[in-house]
Amino acid sequence: MPASVWSRVTCHPSLFYWLALVFFALGLMSKPMLVTLPVILLLIDFWPLGRVAIDGWPVTHSGLPVLQHSAFSHLLFEKIPFLALSLASSLMTFSAQQKAGYVVSADSLTWYWRIVDTLVFYTAYLGKTFWPANLAIFYPYRQIPLYEFVCSALLPVLLSVLFVRRWRSQPCLLIGWFWFLVMLLPVIGLVQVGLQSIADRYTYLPSIGLCIIMVWAMAGLASVSMLYRAVTTVFAAGLLLACLLGTRHQLGYWQDNVKLFSRSIEVTRENNFEGFLLLGNAFLGEGNLDEAAKEFQAALVIAPNFEEAHYWLGRVYLRQRQWPEAEEQLRAAERLNHDNVDTHIGLGDVLAAQDKYAGAEAEYLTALQLKPDNLAAREALAAVLAKKGETDKALTCLYEGLNIQPTAEIHAQIAEILTTEGNVQEAVGQYLAALKLSPDSLDALNNLAWVLATSPDTGIRDGARAAQFAERACELTRYQKTIFVGTLAAAYAEAGRFDDAMATAEKAIALAGKNGESALLQKNRELLELYRAHRAYHETR
């Protein structure tokens, strides 16, 4: 940068002040953990910047103007905009967390215990920073033995007293320590958010204070002599190597969710009902329903009134077609929280699976009363109404859903109902609308291909287009879904490609036999004979 330009910039120090304020605002929007930064800025005004002249306090040559006692108010005044942003961010964050239900009430955790636990948590964070062993993604509250509690509570107090006593000779100790204490305040548990006691992810900014202590302390030792410098260099290299090996070890637990949450339970098994829930969801994501059910049951052994465990266990039983067990668990979740929309949808799904349509309809309606824009509840309600023969109500429900948010699923569901009512032309338009929103929607591709291949209306049938849609559905499923392969065979037949139709029908027969799909096996055998006679599907009507 030319000297003339640089001089113009440096002549306006207020520019840097406002840039710092803008970047602070951006930082708060990224991570509210920065709310204590104004206090940290005051700390570093004392040391190492040395902006305040205090008797006995070492003043460094930072190049900034040194202020006397009477001008300390200037430092406070310049932090006011930063404090205002911090206050606004804190209020917005607290409001959002409270609305989401993450803030633990004082009835569940009294203020007395929050203050007492704060000292214990500071010690826990200190220990995890300097000895990062037995790390877990979730640490539940646990019963702490009296001796451990007393030692943990006394340590931060004693360290604070020690560092205050040495502030003249070693200011790095006081500033680094209070950096650590202040930065942890928003997450130390005074305002409890979530069920965890501590969280390793909270230490990345507070640990800077501890690094200040270590770096300046080692620099002081290194300045004593060449021997001390060599020792501190070797120690620093060893520390970095240990951190490298420790990181490599920890990464082994982050290969997948099952390993990660299994490790969490292994490290903190006592009272870790949330850990069992997370592990159960990990197994559920892998499709391992039996293991998922075991983990949710383990969570309920520890916390019988754990609503989420009841809900997810009910969902597992629903997928396993164990209707009574699923309904029992979901009813338990509903009793614990009647306003949970997902629970009502789950109950509706269980009742609908047992053909209890009146009960299912009532549950879906309750879900929509709680959250009118919930599309999953609206789609499920429409499906139940259609099964009850109330197609007009079902279509009205779905068209209202389109007004809320058009989705491929709603368009496809409307198309299915229109097809059963004989309004095939409009159904084709709905399927095309679904594919416009989601070109790879399997149900829309297959169903549209079937309509175009088999409709009795010559104005609608189009074998070539049907084959294009059916081929895409089969490609997406690697030709492993019997009903899609059968649709493709019908499309080939309508297009006059009977050799392809016969070969594809034989693939569908083989798949149906392999998968134990007796109805599809019989249907595709009948269609194969039709294709061998060079006749398309519509000719059977």
Q: What CATH number is given to the structural domain containing 485? A: 1.25.40.10
- Residues 196 and 140: beta-carbon distance below 8 Å: yes
Does 493 score more than 90 pLDDT?
yes
Q: Are residues 22 and 87 in the same domain?
A: yes
Q: Are residues 9 and 86 in the same domain?
A: yes
Q: Are residues 357 and 446 in the same domain?
A: no
Q: Are residues 383 and 446 in the same domain?
A: no
Average pLDDT estimate for 388-413: 94
Average pLDDT estimate for 368-393: 94
Report how far apart, in Å, the C-alpha atoms of 37 and of each of 15, 27, 33, 525 are: 19, 10, 9, 74
pLDDT score at 121? 87
| d(C-alpha 401, C-alpha 373), whole Å | 8
153: in domain = no
Average per-residue pLDDT in the chain?
Answer: 88
92: in domain = yes
78: in domain = yes
Least confident of 43-52, 106-115, 147-156: 106-115
- Of 358, 373, 389, the position where a domain reaches its end is 389
Does 489 score more than 90 pLDDT?
yes
Does 413 score more than 90 pLDDT?
yes
pLDDT score at 347? 97
Q: Are residues 354 and 447 in the same domain?
A: no
Percent of the residues in the chain that have a pLDDT greater than 70, as a whole number: 88
131: in domain = no
Q: Are residues 449 and 383 in the same domain?
A: no
Report how far apart, in Å, the C-alpha atoms of 516 and of each of 443, 482, 510, 512, 521 are: 21, 11, 10, 6, 8
| d(C-alpha 527, C-alpha 238), whole Å | 74
- Of 356, 389, 422, the position where a domain reaches its end is 389
- 171-184 and 37-46 are packed helices; what angle lies between their axes, rounded to 10 degrees? 170
93: in domain = yes
pTM comes to: 0.79
- Checking 262-268 for CB contacts under 8 A at 24+ apart, the result is 263/136, 263/137, 264/136, 264/137, 264/138, 267/134, 267/135, 267/136, 268/136, 268/138, 268/139, 268/140, 268/142
Q: How confident is the model at residue 160 (pLDDT cuts 50, 70, 90)?
A: very high
Q: Are residues 384 and 449 in the same domain?
A: no
241: in domain = no
- Of 83, 102, 121, the position where a domain reaches its end is 102
pLDDT score at 113? 54
List Cβ neighbours of 65 (8 Å cut-off, separation of 6 or more).
Answer: 51
510: in domain = yes
Query: Tokens representing 27?
Result: 């930082």
Average pLDDT estimate for 42-57: 77
Q: Are residues 468 and 383 in the same domain?
A: no
Report how far apart, in Å, the C-alpha atoms of 361 and of each of 9, 348, 367, 379, 398 are: 69, 7, 10, 11, 14
Average pLDDT estimate for 132-136: 89
Instruction: Report the candidate in 317, 320, 321 with the shortest Cα–Cα distance to residue 332.
Output: 317
Whether cis (ω within 30° of 0) applies to the bond prior to 140 is no
Does 497 score more than 90 pLDDT?
yes
Each residue of 356-368: b (16+ CB within 10 Å) or e?
bbebbbbbbebbb
58: in domain = yes
Position with higher pLDDT, 409 vs 96: 409
The DSSP annotation for 184-208 comes to HGGGSSSS-BSS-S--GGGGTTTHH
Q: What is the pLDDT of residues 64-84, one digit of tens each?
A: 555 554 467 788 888 999 999
Q: What is the pLDDT of residues 321-353, one digit of tens each?
A: 999 999 999 999 999 999 999 999 999 999 999
Q: Are residues 3 and 83 in the same domain?
A: yes
Position with higher pLDDT, 157 vs 51: 157
pLDDT score at 109? 52
- Give the domain range for residue 30: 1-102
Does 481 score more than 50 pLDDT?
yes
Helix (H) or strand (E) holding 305: none
Q: Are residues 451 and 535 in the same domain?
A: yes
Does 85 score more than 80 pLDDT?
yes
Q: What is the pLDDT of residues 226-255, one digit of tens each?
A: 998 999 999 999 999 999 999 999 999 999
Domain count of the chain?
Answer: 3
Q: Are residues 359 and 454 in the same domain?
A: no
